[in-house]
Amino acid sequence: MSADLAARAGTALPAADRRRARPGLALTVLAALVVVAAAAFLTVGATGSWSFVLPFRATKLAGLAVVGTAVAVATVLFQTVTANRILTPSLLGMDAMFTLVQTVLVFVLGGAALAALPATGMFLGQVVVMVGCAVVLFGWLFGGQRRSLHLLLLVGVVLGTLLRSASGMLQRIMDPNEFAVLTNRLFASFNAIDDTLLGITAALVAAGCAFAWHRRHVLDVLALGRECATGLGVPYRRAVLEVLVVVAVLVSASTALVGPVTFLGLLVANVAYVVLGTHQHRWVLPGAALVSTLFLVAGQVVLEHALGFDTSLGVVIELVGGVLFLVLLVRGAAR
């Protein structure tokens, strides 16, 4: 028996993986598709000088990859610590929170003072405020006992509405010039990605992803739930708070760059779970990032060049993601 045991234990793939889709293969295919989509994105329909088109498109491509990765990783992390597959940071109002933080900053400091501040410092300041708010709020929601999904969804709806109306109220009583500054900041899109912000965002997202990767085994244990994770020796509260900080950083970074995308995370995380056939974070984290990048890049290519639309990628994502959200909700896949 012991020889048999050793033989089984020594195989590279544990027997548990036999029944599954092979995550390694799926990951390779996804990576290849991303490369193809990126190549198409850079070259299809390019007219005029390459030296102009390529750098321009490359910046945009980098933006899509950074945002896609940030949203995907943030959603997977969030779903892991909240033990569900239907809630996302945006559904709980995390990007509404970011909008409010921005609005309050413009309101309190004034557009002129803001313009005088260095953009980098400004952006980092916002991220810090955002992380603080998110940790207090979501730490309180998720640090303790398990709460029912319905309660959380309700909290998300109410919170999102509350934060958005708070922003709306401030925007209404704001000086029109400052309001113009604010709208400029808030209504960014995939088509107008700011170069300097892209650099900072990429750095933050890289740091967040490095953390998630470093903690991938802890994340697997956290996904088991509070009692189980504690029993296995993971300091649950602290670990969850750390993850929520990273989620807040990722969400702030991507929201600052392109504005809120509510359903992208939900869509790509769930596609990743299905395609990879496992919940192990060492597969799901890179898998979700690739799926997300693929959706954004390929979606942009198809919309722009095949269908001739210009700016509707966000709309399409929200539509497909929204439908998936309803399906998941009705099927009760959240449990």
Partner 1 sequence: MIEVRGVTKRYGATTVVDDVSLDVPDGGLVALIGPNGAGKSTLLSIMSRLLPADAGTVLVDGMDVTTTRSDVLARRLAILRQDAHVGSRLTVRDLVTFGRYPHSKGRYTVEDRAHVERALDFLDLQPFADRFLDELSGGQRQRAFVAMVLCQDTDHVLLDEPLNNLDLRHAVGMMRLLRRATDELGKTVVVVLHDINVASCWSDRIVAMKDGRVAHDGPPAEVVRPEVLSDVYDLDVAVHELDGQLIGTYYR
Question: Is there a contact between 227 and 144 (Cβ–Cβ < 8 Å)?
Answer: no
CA distance 142 to 179: 35
Min separation Cβ 80 and partner 1, Å: 8
Six-digit token string for 281 = 């974070």
- Choices 14-22, 33-41, 51-59, 167-175; region in contact with partner 1 by CB under 8 A: 14-22
Q: Using the rule CB under 8 A, is 175 a contact of partner 1?
A: no
H or E segment and range at residue 164: helix 149-172
Question: Is there a contact between 26 and 288 (Cβ–Cβ < 8 Å)?
Answer: no
Q: Using the rule CB under 8 A, is 221 a contact of partner 1?
A: yes
Q: Is 277 left (phi over 0), alpha (psi -120 to 50) or beta?
A: left
Question: Is there a contact between 46 and 226 (Cβ–Cβ < 8 Å)?
Answer: no
Rg of the chain in Å (alpha carbons) = 21
Min separation Cβ 5 and partner 1, Å: 5
Q: Using the rule CB under 8 A, is 12 a contact of partner 1?
A: no
Nearer to partner 1, 261 or 269 (CB): 269
Touching partner 1, residues 73-102 (CB under 8 A):
83
Q: Using the rule CB under 8 A, is 55 a contact of partner 1?
A: no
Q: Using the rule CB under 8 A, is 147 a contact of partner 1?
A: no
CA dihedral of residues 309, 312, 318, 323 (deg, nearest 10): -20
Q: Using the rule CB under 8 A, is 217 a contact of partner 1?
A: yes
Touching partner 1, residues 262-291 (CB under 8 A):
279
* Contact with partner 1 (CB under 8 A) among 121, 233, 308, 332: 233
- The residues that touch partner 1, with contacts defined as CB under 8 A, are 1, 5-6, 8-10, 14-16, 18-19, 83, 216-218, 220-221, 223-225, 227-228, 230-236, 279
